[in-house]
């Protein structure tokens, strides 16, 4: 009798799976592609909300949900994020839009569709309307840093992106330590009593190449408590600084966008790589 019941359960499960696979796909699925950085995840989420405004249902495929690369919901847990399982996503993959398609092609696609990645963005979007930080996402160590930043009358966040941005490409030039030293000096000329907070994916390079060349009266601190999995905390802390010095990476740029200080200023390199519609106040 038990063997019959077991057979019935297995058969029923097979029928459910078969029905799920045979159901015609009717949605647009956006894959949070690995290794997508936080800013890439933000761009893709906004693409999804823009598609939804056209009346289509959108879900997000995060095949590495347990992977430290997925930080969107850690940074912004309030988002209306409809996730689809890898099992469900499989039936959409044959409707994929070629890797690296432009924004308009993705925005105007119709279901069923599987969007792998976008290679450009709508530069007119104001990302501050979609995202905001809440200090509840910070751990105890970062909360203390936040208090320190807010206590400074003129905190300046300096983002030093290295790794893949440390080598020049066709569309941007790698930044030397000289740029950051000049940017810090420019900030000292512009603002009264500036205090610099350095954030980087290569803290050792900052300590070896930038800090020794700063003038003795420069007040600064290197934030080195967060690894890659807590990059969203770095972005939050940078956005709490009154002004930003950005590098070629998008995190410094996004930190400036999410900065709520009404008199904020942005210092950026000339011919800077940018993903959004941000005009720096000063170029070095």
Asked whether 249 and 166 are in contact (CB, 8 A), the reply is no
- 195 Cβ contact list (under 8 Å, min separation 6): 152, 154, 155, 156, 219, 220, 221
From residue 44, how far is each of 59, 132, 210 by CA, in Å? 11, 16, 34
Query: Largest alpha-carbon pair distance within the chain?
Result: 86
In degrees rounded to 5, what are phi and psi of residue 61?
A: -105, 115
Asked whether 227 and 199 are in contact (CB, 8 A), the reply is no
Q: Give per-10-residue mean pLDDT for the chain (284 aa).
A: 49 48 77 77 91 94 70 93 89 80 84 83 83 97 98 97 67 82 97 97 95 97 94 97 91 94 94 74 90
What pLDDT score was predicted for residue 15? Answer: 46
pTM for this entry = 0.86
| Beta-carbon-side half-sphere exposure of residue 68 (alpha carbons within 13 Å) | 6
Domains for the chain: give ranges and CATH numbers: 20-115 (no CATH), 135-283 (3.40.50.11350)
Which strand (E) or helix (H) includes residue 30?
Answer: strand 28-31
What pLDDT score was predicted for residue 163? Answer: 75
- 277 Cβ contact list (under 8 Å, min separation 6): 123, 124, 125
What pLDDT score was predicted for residue 2? Answer: 47
Question: Residue 95: is it exposed, middle or buried by C-beta count within 10 angstroms (0-12/13-18/19+)?
Answer: middle
């Amino acid at each position: 009798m038990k063997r019959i019941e077991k057979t019935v359960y297995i058969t029923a499960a097979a029928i459910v799976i078969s029905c799920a696979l045979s159901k015609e796909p009717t949605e647009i699925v956006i894959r949070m592609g690995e290794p997508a950085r936080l800013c890439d995840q933000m761009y893709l989420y906004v693409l999804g909300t823009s598609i939804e405004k056209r009346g289509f249902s959108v879900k997000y495929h995060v095949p590495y949900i347990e992977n430290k690369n997925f930080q969107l919901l850690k940074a912004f847990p309030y988002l209306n994020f409809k996730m689809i399982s890898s099992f469900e996503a499989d039936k959409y993959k044959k409707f994929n839009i070629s890797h690296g398609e432009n924004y308009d092609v993705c925005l105007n696609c119709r279901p069923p569709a599987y969007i792998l990645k976008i290679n450009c963005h709508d530069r007119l979007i104001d990302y501050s309307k979609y995202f905001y930080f809440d200090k509840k996402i910070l751990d105890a160590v970062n909360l203390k840093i936040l208090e320190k930043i807010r206590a400074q009358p003129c905190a300046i966040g300096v983002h030093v992106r290295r790794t893949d941005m440390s080598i020049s490409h066709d569309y941007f030039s790698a930044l030397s330590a000289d740029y950051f030293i000049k940017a810090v000096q420019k900030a000292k000329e512009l603002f009264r009593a500036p205090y610099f907070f350095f954030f980087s994916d290569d803290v050792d390079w900052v300590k070896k190449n930038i800090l020794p060349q700063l003038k003795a009266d420069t007040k600064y601190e290197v934030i080195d408590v967060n690894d890659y999995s807590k990059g969203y905390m770095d972005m939050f802390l940078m956005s709490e600084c009154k002004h930003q010095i950005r590098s070629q990476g998008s995190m410094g740029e996004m930190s400036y966008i999410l900065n709520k200080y009404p008199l904020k200023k942005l210092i950026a390199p000339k011919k800077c790589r940018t993903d959004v519609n941000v005009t720096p106040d000063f170029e070095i």
